[in-house]
């Protein structure tokens, strides 16, 4: 019975630096911000008749919010520190995967040109040279569902 329950559980893997030779990954408790908004512009054809035409204009993507992880990869930690502490941004591609209990990818999103804009660190674990991250917020250009 426990095996059946374990197979139904899902988790989120985030693969950092997808466009580089050495990628890093981390398992987060939650991911939000995988949303697209299409702005609409209106054109008033004849102001006296109050008739408007609505047209789609541009797409907007809110920040990606990653919550709950123990980051052990120094490359990801340094990437965040450079952006937040030194204002040095290195946009990179990410892949967010929803994985089932059988370790099969159910859904995946390619996040294009992401960079950190905010993070909340719970604590640093000296022995493991890692950080417990409560929240990591990333701005990005757009995403594609894979």
- E strand spans, the chain: 11-16, 24-28, 30-32, 37-46, 51-60, 64-71, 92-99, 105-125, 130-139, 142-145
From the list 33, 35, 38, the residue with the least C-alpha distance to 58 is 38
DSSP 83: H
Q: Record the tokens describing residue 106, joined without a space.
A: 């159910």
Q: What is the pLDDT of residue 123?
A: 76
Residue 7, pLDDT > 50, answer: no
Mean pLDDT of 108-114: 95
Mean pLDDT of the chain: 85
Mean pLDDT of 13-19: 85
From the list 135, 142, 134, 133, the residue with the least C-alpha distance to 62 is 142
pLDDT digits (tens, 9 = 90+) for 73-91: 788 889 999 999 999 999 9
Contact 23, 13 (CB under 8 A): no
For the entire predicted model, the pTM comes to 0.80
Each residue of 112-128: b (16+ CB within 10 Å) or e? bbbbbbebeeeeeeeee
Q: What is the pLDDT of residue 127?
A: 66
pLDDT digits (tens, 9 = 90+) for 44-58: 776 666 677 889 999
Q: What is the pLDDT of residue 100?
A: 85
Contacts of 120 (CB under 8 A, 6+ apart): 133, 134, 135, 136
Least confident of 34-38, 70-74, 92-96: 70-74
Confidence of residue 40 (pLDDT cuts 50, 70, 90): very high
Rounded to whole angstroms, what are the CA distances from 3 to 9, 102, 106, 139? Answer: 10, 10, 19, 38
Write down the CATH number for the domain with range 2-36+62-145.
Answer: 2.30.110.20
Contact 52, 46 (CB under 8 A): no
């Amino acid at each position: 019975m426990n095996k059946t329950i374990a197979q139904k559980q899902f988790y989120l893997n985030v693969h950092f630096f997808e466009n580089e030779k050495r990628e890093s990954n981390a398992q987060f408790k939650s991911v939000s911000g995988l949303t697209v908004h299409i702005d609409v512009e209106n054109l008033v054809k004849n102001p006296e008749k109050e008739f408007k035409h609505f047209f789609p204009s541009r797409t907007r993507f809110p920040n990606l919010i990653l919550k709950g992880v123990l980051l052990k990869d120094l490359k990801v930690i340094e990437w965040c520190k450079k952006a937040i502490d030194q204002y040095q941004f290195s946009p990179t591609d990410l892949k967010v995967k929803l994985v089932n209990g059988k370790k099969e990818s159910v859904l995946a999103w390619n996040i294009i040109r992401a960079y950190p804009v905010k993070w909340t660190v719970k604590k640093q674990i000296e022995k493991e040279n890692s950080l417990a991250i409560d929240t990591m917020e990333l701005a990005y250009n757009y995403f594609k569902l894979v």
